[in-house]
Chain A
Amino acid sequence: MELIWTGLLEALRMIISADSEVFQITWLTVQVCIFSTFISTVLGVPIGMLLAFKHFAGKKIILLVSHAGMGLPPVVAGLWVTMFLWRSGPFGEWQWLFTVNAIVIAQIIVSLPILISLSYSAFKKIDDGTRLQIKALAPTKPQSLLLYLKQAQFGLCAAIMAGLGRVLAEVGAAMMVGGNLQGQTRILTTAMVMEVSRGNFHIALALSFILMAIAFMLTFILLRFQQKDVTT
């Protein structure tokens, strides 16, 4: 139990002394996670909307794949990304393996299904009456799209939160495709795994407090947007 205390003190020390390496790791984590969630949102919400409102061939299969994909283990995503980015793989020339780009790709793969499935549910929840109203009220397509987004705001925020939570928590893929390189691809979760294997439990614990604080803050911001007046 003493460990928790020393871990907490270590975390405070790291924050107060503005430890440049910890700051760099934390900042990289925030950037990578927000960026990959952003891409997943930009791709996932329109796809979810399309799935909810339009009928087309193969729709059921996409739904099945995206829902099943919510449970995709990050190491599986990591393994596939690694295979494609290997020097001997199809995209080897890019030299993306062991870079942040590779981490972002892996994180998009694990968070995109969450964004698609949950935004699909969010749009599906809009009842027929409201849909008719939107059709009647909005003269242009962009306006009606905005009204739909507004109606689904609650569920969409939840989808983004879930996606962000997934990428913040993920470690297997980031380790595999990023390689935990100091100053380049080391993020909070991979740094924690490394510190544990080096026996530095107090540092790992300190990093875990920082990670939880970030998750807390980001969720808090999203929650505030979610809880904003929906009716206006």
Chain B
Amino acid sequence: MFKSLIFILTLFSLTACIFETRSSEAIPQPSQQLILATTTSTYDSGLLDELIPLYQDETGIEVKIISVGSGQALAMAESGEADVLLVHAPSEEENLEKEGIVINRHRVMHNDYVLLGPTTDPAETKDSSIEDALISIIESDAPFYSRADDSGTHLKELELWKDTGITTFPDAYQETGQGMGNTLRITAEKNGYTLTDRGTFLYLQDSLDPLGILVQGDESLENIYHVMQVHPDQSDQINTEAAETFINFFIRKDIQLLIKSYGFEEWGEPLFFPYLVD
């Protein structure tokens, strides 16, 4: 019994030792870390998995990608928890820019939002304007699933509802409180309607059987991503130098071209359109 107890303890402490050395090696110097707060849509689409390793190899700066809704990402900027942001909530971003919380803000890419619904389209929304489509969804009492998580997509959805003038929603309008991927899956499972960015839909299309794009192309459905850095005054730990190199990296021509080609092979169309090359 004692032998075994000692054995367990040695095992434990050995692992502990390995673990200790590992973690001290793995954690780079503080100045070499950069926290990027970004949206679930850019993260779930796999674009950052492509770009960030390039940046890390180039600069030796370790990027911590925190994927949250745009609302939370902006809140992280306000409290100085993040160094750089890549988000898609333009009007909220502009407010922060005016207050001087974020600086060096650049438009990097865009794609568009689309209205998804079951291909049987019980609310007869197909090819109507987004405003009419939303009104007929509410009038026909068809289920609509809202992200309700303060993400860029959710904020856009609220903006669109505001344009329709609808203020009270029936029970068929439901809030998932989850990311884009999960909301799409719930919508598909429940045969409902939802608003999504095109990139995430293309990426997940295969697993979203009854859903199809019903409304697209409306000017108000543009989805614009900006990259920006947090003002050094927000926290004394903000890595301004690294943040600048990150912004410069994103607006560089070769990286913009990479964004353009991302996903083309797999989906036949780009998931994101770069802004600075065309």
A residues near B, CB below 8 A? 30-32, 34-35, 38, 41, 86-88, 92-93, 95, 97-101, 146, 149-150, 153, 179, 181-182, 184, 196-199, 201, 225, 228-230, 232
Contact = CB atoms under 8 A, between A and B. Distances in A.
Contacts of A87: 79-81, 235, 237
Contact of B15 (A38, A146, A181): A38
B104 interface: no
Interface string B7-36: 010001101101100110011001001010
Contacts, number: 85
A190 to B, nearest CB: 12
B182 A197 contact: yes
A197 B43 CA distance: 11
B96 interface: no
B1 A179 contact: no
B5 A88 contact: no
Contacts of B79: 86-88
B64 A149 contact: no
Nearest to A93: B237
Given A93-B237, A197-B179, A35 B81 contact: no
Most chain B Cβ neighbours within 10 Å, of A31, A87, A97, A98: A87
B1 to A, nearest CB: 6
Contacts of B19: 31-32, 35
B1 A229 contact: yes
A232 B22 contact: no
B8 A92 contact: no
Contact of A86 (B12, B22, B40, B81): B81
Contacts of A201: 207
B65 interface: yes
Nearest to B44: A198
A7 B184 CA distance: 22
B185 interface: yes
B1 A88 contact: no
B15 A92 contact: no
Interface residues of B, number: 38
B91 interface: no
Contact of A181 (B4, B40, B65): B65
30 contacts: A31-B18, A34-B16, A38-B13, A38-B15, A38-B16, A87-B80, A88-B235, A92-B235, A92-B237, A95-B33, A95-B237, A97-B81, A98-B35, A98-B64, A98-B66, A101-B23, A146-B2, A149-B5, A179-B66, A182-B49, A182-B65, A196-B182, A197-B181, A197-B182, A198-B181, A199-B204, A201-B207, A225-B5, A230-B1, A232-B1
Contact of B30 (A35, A95, A97, A149): A95
A40 B216 CA distance: 55
A100 B23 CA distance: 7
Nearest to A82: B81
Nearest to B206: A199
B23 A34 contact: no
Given A95-B33, A197-B44, A198-B181, A153 B1 contact: yes
Contacts of B235: 87-88, 92
B256 to A, nearest CB: 24
Contacts of B2: 146, 150
Contacts of B22: 31
Contact of B4 (A95, A196, A225): A225
A-B interface, 7 closest residue pairs, ranked by CB to CB distance from nearest:
A197-B181, A38-B12, A199-B207, A199-B204, A31-B19, A87-B235, A35-B19
A81 to B, nearest CB: 14
A47 B209 CA distance: 55
Nearest to B236: A87
A35 B64 contact: no
Contacts of A97: 81
Contacts of B64: 98, 179, 181, 184
Contact of A34 (B12, B46, B81, B203): B12
Contacts of B185: 199
B243 to A, nearest CB: 14
Contacts of A41: 12
A97 B206 CA distance: 36
B15 A35 contact: yes
Contacts of A32: 19
Contacts of A179: 64-66
A38 B13 CA distance: 8
